[in-house]
Amino acid sequence: MTGALLLWGHALAALAYALVAVALLRGGDRGAPAALFRAALGATALWSAGVAMQITLRPEVPSLLEALRDLAWLAFVAALIERTPGAVPRSTRILWIGVAAVIVVRIVVDMTIGGHLSLAVAMVSAIGFLVLIHNLYGLAAPS
């Protein structure tokens, strides 16, 4: 029962993310943040489809798709915040680069070593995302 729920839930999520991404292609803003938003939605659709089909795929494929999804969302958030010149301190830009580097390391570890080290790198990248969002929230707070 749980396996079927996992499969159908992720399949429906993949369909929903893909439909939203296609719907956003029809009109609206054509700037970098909008394009990266559509790319992030597409990457999330691919990841959801990968999780839904994980029985038929190689074991590392859903994890690689998850890392690519994370990179797409990181690029979207960076482009969204960078629209305001001078609003982002240098430390936040360094943190973006650091989180992206950790995600790339995760991809390399997934493709070579895998196992518990891959899980540890995934947890470090999740913590980096949380610190980044905390810093961005602090930037958005009224002074």
Q: What pLDDT shows up at residue 24?
A: 87
Write phi, then psi, for 60 (nearest 5 degrees).
-85, -10
Burial of 54 (0-12, 13-18, 19+ CB in 10 A): middle
- Would the pTM of this model clear 0.75, i.e. be above it? yes
The pLDDT value given to residue 133? 82
Q: Which regions in the chain score pLDDT beneath 50?
A: none
End-to-end CA distance of the chain: 51
